[in-house]
Structure 1
């Protein structure tokens, strides 16, 4: 049974760290992580615009995993206006879709950003340009994750939610 997990939120909120930690809780080749940054910045080297190619490529990669019954984690800023249609289509193609929105203040995301490798690539001032605050998806009931949640609590919650949905072969 395929399960789509969407982790959305501002840069520096912890989405990539959470996605990798959740993936480690499943056997190899049972959980596919599709990072927006990897597709957009590394594979395509493109800006985040409404007509960007990464939106379609993320959808294709995620659909590939869902068609094979995997747990698929799509993570990134995933602006509701630009990526909402794609996320809605993916959710309809999955047996089950789980949505989590990281809702942290800009000060909290800047603080977290200072401790990660990307701090050498872009500054907190640059991050402020694309910080957009809470952007709920109109078609999904997102679990809202604020700064009070610790990494272990987030990962445990997502793993538990997934395991309530998946077939025994993923366990």
Structure 2
């Protein structure tokens, strides 16, 4: 059996940093049904209505959904806060199972994430005080070199970078 080429893209960062916007922007640049976005918030908050704690079911479900996409040979984008301590092992397994992988992490100050959050349609869904509880600063994964995205990177430039990385490799 020949292995299908699979591509994993991981986009991590604190709440309000732009992960979902970037993931959706990348998906739009590829043909329909070729790119699967696996949003941590959708799986954790909407599908399971679960807290983000160690050993939570969403971690396994995110991994299984992403693995399905990789088996099908899709471009799979996993995006979310994806705390390295809780999600790192699952992300490492996915990375090992993909034909190729790309990892990006937003490294923004808390003030910048609050500023970006204020401009989002869902800005009234949680407060800066709640965001402060989730904020963890730069938290690199130990098994891969992530592309570090700072406040000087526009969301459009990040989408372009990720699409170029996927197409060139």
For the aligned pair, the TM-score class normalised by the smaller chain equals: over 0.9
1:55 to 59, 62, 69: 59
Q: How many residues in Structure 1 have an aligned counterpart in Structure 2?
A: 165
SS in 2 for 1:135: coil
- Aligned 1:1-171 pairs, distance under 5 A: 1-165=5-169
Q: Distance in 2 between matches of 1:102 and 1:40?
A: 20
In 2, Cα distance between the equivalents of 1:52 and 1:15?
21
In the TM superposition, what whole-angstrom CA distance separates every residue of 1:63-82 from its partner, at most 9, and x where no partner exists? 00000110000000000000
Q: CA deviation at 1:118?
A: 2.3
Secondary structure class of the residue paired with 1:117: coil
The offset of 1:144, in angstroms, is 0.1
| Distance in 1, Cα, partners of 2:112 & 2:94 | 30
Question: Is there any run of 5+ residues in structure 1 with no aligned partner, and where?
Answer: 166-171
Show CA shifts across 1:36-67 (max 9, x none): 00000000000000011000000000000000
Long gaps (5+) in structure 2: none
Stretches of 4+ aligned residues off by more than 4 angstroms? none
For residue 10 of structure 1, report the CA deviation from its aligned partner: 0.2
TM-score normalised by length of structure 1: 0.95
Computed over aligned residues only, the root mean square deviation of the Cα atoms, in angstroms, reads 0.6
